[in-house]
Every structure is written in C-alpha cells, then in structure tokens.
Amino acid sequence: MRLPSGPTLDLRQRLHNLPKVDLHRHLEGSLRLETLAEIAREHGIDLPGYDIERLRPYVQITNDPPDFQRFLEKFQLLRRFYTTREAVQRVAYEAVADAALDNVRYLELRFNPAALAHAQGFSFEEVTDWVIQAVDHAQVDYQITARLICTIVRHENLESARQIVELALSRQKRGIVGLDLAGDETIYPAAPLVSLFRHAAQGGLGITIHAGEAGGPENVREAIELLGAQRIGHGISCVEDSNVLMLVRDRKVALEICPTSNLQTGAVETFGYHPLRDLYLAGVRVTVNTDDPSISDTTLTDEYLVAVMGMNLTVADLMAFNRNAIRASFLSPAERAKLEEQLMAEFGRSTDV
C-alpha cells in the first residue's frame, strides 16, 4: 500500500499504536519477501529471479486485475519455500513477530499442514509441531498471544482432510484452537466435509469457514447450517440475501472481514462499495483482519486505515470490532474475558475516544 502523508500519516501512526486482534491470517500468505529470497537462494529453488523485486509479482498482488483465481495462484509458488524444518520455523516465527510489531496483541494464525508438508514430503505431524514450536518461541520474544487454526482446502482429498482434523484435535493443549475450510467455494461444495467438521466441533475445536467471498449468500447459509460455522471467513455476500443476513446476525456468527483482500479477489469493486459498514449497522458481529499480509502487501494497521478513510468508520468503531473479535475468538471463556479486560484498558490508554 502507498504510504500516506500529512494528517493521514498521523492517523496511520495512531492506528498502528492501537492494540489489535487478528482472527483471520494465513501463515502461507504471511512470508516476508526478504525471507523468500534468502530461502530461494540458499536452497537453489528454481525461480525467475532471486532479488525481491523480481520475486514480487509472483507472490504478491501488484498490478494484477482483481480476480479470485489469480489471488489463489499466488499460493502455488509460495508452497515451494517450505524446504526444511528451519524454513518452516523461520516463516512461522516471523509471521507472529510481524503481527506483534504491528501491535496485534492476539492473533489466530491459520495454516494448512498439507501445504507445508507437500514440498519435501514431510509428515503433517512434523510440520505442525514445527509451527507450534516456532509460534511458542515468538510469543516469548514479543508482546503477543497467538493461537493456531488448521486449514483444510476444499479440493483436498478426504483422507488428508481427516488426518488434519485428527491432528488438530490431538494438539489442542498445545495451541490449536480451530478448524478452517478454505479454497475455491465456487467449484467445491462443502457437503462432503460435514461429518468431519461435526467431529471437530464435538472434539472442542472452533469452526470457521471461508464462504460468501467469491460465492453467494447460499454458501454462508451452508457454512452455518451444515458445517456449524461459528465464524465466517469474509461472508460479505450475505448482504445480498436478507434471510441469510438475519441468520448471521441472530446466531451471532462473526464475519472475519479482510478489506484489501476483498478488493484484490474482486469480491468488491471499491472500498466505498464494501459492505463492512452496512453489516456493522445491521448488527452483525464484524471484525477486521488481514488475510494474507505478504500477498496483499498489507498490515492490520493498513486495513484499519482503509476502514476509516475508505468506509467512513471511526476509531471507536474499530474498538467495537476488536471487542467482537475477542468475543468470537476460539479462546476459552476465561481467557476471552481476561483478554477483553486487558485490551480495552490498553485501548483506553492509547486513544482519547
């Protein structure tokens, strides 16, 4: 994102200083470009170039026209960087560190064990334990609490999805708190995964489903009614159907909204047309998140800036979104209450609203 100047710069600094919560951030979309270039050089990964500017268009949205498929394509190359244990751990550590440096105080970082394991034939268990260790390490070094969500992609085979669910269930005491469904909702239905998601929820995992981003409101309904989603990744198309909107609102399903990502995938045309404010005014539990900071070249501060400058929302509204995010987090009720108390006290000190 282009850096603002003048009064906007002051606003940006103020938003940066706010304590924040991010519920929707993908590890696979959070790689520092410098780290990518270093790993590629060290391990001789065959790429069109090894300097950051040559690499950028392959892993980041630059001048690409808004398009959902093009956005997903960026992940293909990124998957090739998980070459060693050190690479996986470095990337996970840096993802949490970068969030902390943006004053994110609570992060739910999601990752797809299959994507991390794929490049070198690692086991799902190995890569998951590496991520857990790296995230634990980052939490010691930085002022942040982080939890993990395992992602299944819609096109993955059922056996691998089942393994990921069991893996997530087995590591709940080590920081895995939820299960996510991602991938192309326009092609792959969620129905084959219903029993797996029910099993995950019964075992204590929180459920969040990517829906209503490239697809219509019927996918949001499906995610809630069939898969038991407590949160929806994006979900913005629910504004197109008042029945689905009421379902989302009445069941207090939180929407994990990621404005820049929505623009880049073509889910919305401009920030001015983004339904975040309408959803908020309609009483929906909305939250603001990053999705894929490195692919979108964004931070949570940037997303807040977009909400204020592009959507006519206030810093007080952002505080309300943070409260929504804490209450919709997959922490235990006691942990949620503690985090809300801490964050709201800090918020009060950092702003005069």
**Active-site position among 28, 94, 156, 213:** 213
CA distance 209 to 226: 11
Do the beta carbons of residue 207 and residue 228 sit within 8 Å? yes
Cβ-based nearer residue to Zn ion, 180 or 340: 180
DSSP helix/strand/coil, 226 = coil
| C-alpha closest to that of 153 among 122, 96, 192, 108 | 192
| C-alpha closest to that of 152 among 134, 129, 173, 168 | 168
> Helix axis angle, 315-328 relative to 300-311, nearest 10°?
130
- Smallest distance, Å, CB 182 to Zn ion? 6
Among the listed ranges 55-63, 95-103, 284-292, 328-336, the one in contact with Zn ion (CB under 5 A) is 284-292
Among the listed ranges 38-46, 78-86, 228-236, 272-280, the one in contact with Zn ion (CB under 5 A) is 228-236
Number of residues forming the site for Zn ion (CB under 5 A): 2
97's tokens? 């560190």
Among the listed ranges 151-159, 168-176, 239-247, 285-293, the one in contact with Zn ion (CB under 5 A) is 285-293
| Residue selected from 98, 291, 317, 340 as contacting Zn ion according to rule CB under 5 A | 291
Kindly tell me the sign of the dihedral angle through the C-alpha atoms of 156, 79, 230, 265: negative
- Smallest distance, Å, CB 289 to Zn ion? 8
288's tokens? 């603001």
- Residue 185 found at the interface with Zn ion (CB under 5 A): no
Which residue intervals of 5-67 are DSSP H helices?
7-17, 33-43, 52-59
Among the listed ranges 136-144, 147-155, 225-233, 329-337, the one in contact with Zn ion (CB under 5 A) is 225-233
- Smallest distance, Å, CB 232 to Zn ion? 11
Question: By CB neighbour count within 10 A (0-12 exposed, 13-18 middle, 19+ buried), where does 85 fall?
Answer: middle
Cβ-based nearer residue to Zn ion, 293 or 310: 293
Closest-CB residue for Zn ion?
291
Among the listed ranges 9-17, 95-103, 238-246, 287-295, the one in contact with Zn ion (CB under 5 A) is 287-295
Of all residues in the chain, what percent are helix, strand and coil, respectively (each to 5)? 55, 15, 30
CA distance 71 to 333: 35
213 is catalytic: yes
Cβ-based nearer residue to Zn ion, 233 or 275: 233
CA distance 145 to 175: 10
Catalytic residues: 213
The residues that touch Zn ion, with contacts defined as CB under 5 A, are: 233, 291
